[in-house]
Structure 1
């Protein structure tokens, strides 16, 4: 019985320690606890959120200066979500893939 209780307690602790921080519900302290967010960025996020909650990651990236795709991916990996959703990078356009393949040197030399 004690082992089950201890296992349940450890599982609860693990779940709480890895809990996601939703930007639309988080306090400034919650945002500051995420690696990669400092006081200035958390203040910008909260100020923008006061105007209107963030709809999705694209909305966050558009409205908060200094947040781009790379930083959004890092923040998401640290546990930040927007409306419960982790960041999913947009697929690269087909034109970018073709341009990269033309730049690669040929193996026929």
Structure 2
């Protein structure tokens, strides 16, 4: 019973946790609807070159349209990247 309860609590925590675009792992980014392995890699490469201040910053990447940006905005937060 304890294992089931802990599993449910962990699932809820992950469900309501927001993802930080400036520090999320590839696997975390892939949890966003519409983000697969390739787009997650694109985000990681992009943030190595410049800080992401807003999900709309990703519109410059090929394949990132307004619909995908809306999905990202639902699931992420943007925290200032370390300098």
Same fold (TM over 0.5): yes
- Which of 20, 33, 38 is the matching residue for 2:18? 20
Structure 1 gaps of 5+ residues are: 1-5, 85-109
Structure 2 gaps of 5+ residues are: none
Which 4+ residue blocks in structure 1 deviate beyond 3 angstroms? none
Alignment size in residue pairs: 75
In structure 2, what is the Cα distance between the partners aligned to 1:39 and 1:15? 23
Matched, 1:69 2:53: no
In structure 2, what is the Cα distance between the partners aligned to 1:74 and 1:33? 11
- RMSD between superposed Cα atoms in Å: 2.5
Superposition TM-score, scaled by structure 2 size: 0.69
Greater Rg, structure 1 or structure 2?
1
Are the structure 2 counterparts of residues 18 and 51 from structure 1 closer, same or farther at C-alpha, using a change threshold of 3 Å? Answer: same
